[in-house]
Amino acid sequence: MSEKLPQIGSLRHRIVIESLTNVSDGQGGQTTTWSTYATVWGLIEPSAVKEILFSNQIQIRRTHKCFIRYRSDITVTPSMRINFDSRYFQIKGIYRPDERKFFWRLDLEEGAGT
C-alpha cells in the first residue's frame, strides 16, 4: 500500500535546509557552523512522541515527517538539518515515497544532535 502524498497546495511551511560548513576563525584556524543550503516550501507533520529512559532520566523524542518537492538541484543528506520556525530537526531518513520525482519525504527527529 502506498503512502498518501500531500497536495502541492498543502506545502505551506517555509523550511530552511542547513549544512555544516567550515569557516575561518580569523586566526588561521577554522570553526564549524551551520549555514543555509536551501530554502524550500514543504509540509511538516508530527509522527510520534516517545519517552526514553536514558541515564536515569526520561527524555522525550518527537519525530516528524516532512515532504518537500523533488528538485534536481538539491541533494539532501542525513548530515544536514532542517530549521523550521526556530526549531531544529535532525534528518533521520530520506526517500522518494512513490519512487517518482515528485516529492522527497524526510523523517525527522526534533532537537536530536543539533
User: Biggest alpha carbon distance in the chain?
Assistant: 56
Residue 40: CB atoms within 10 A of its CB come to: 19
* pLDDT value at residue 89: 94
* pLDDT value at residue 112: 58
What CA–CA distance (Å, rounded) separates 13 from 34? 20
pTM: 0.80
Residue 33: beta bridge partners? 21
Task: Give the type of residue at 57.
Answer: Q
* pLDDT value at residue 72: 84
| Domains defined for the chain, CATH in brackets | 10-110 (2.40.10.270)
Residue 69: beta bridge partners? 103
pLDDT averaged per 10 residues, the chain (length 114): 75 93 85 92 89 78 90 86 93 85 90 58
111 half-sphere exposure, CB direction, 13 A CA radius = 5
* pLDDT value at residue 26: 83
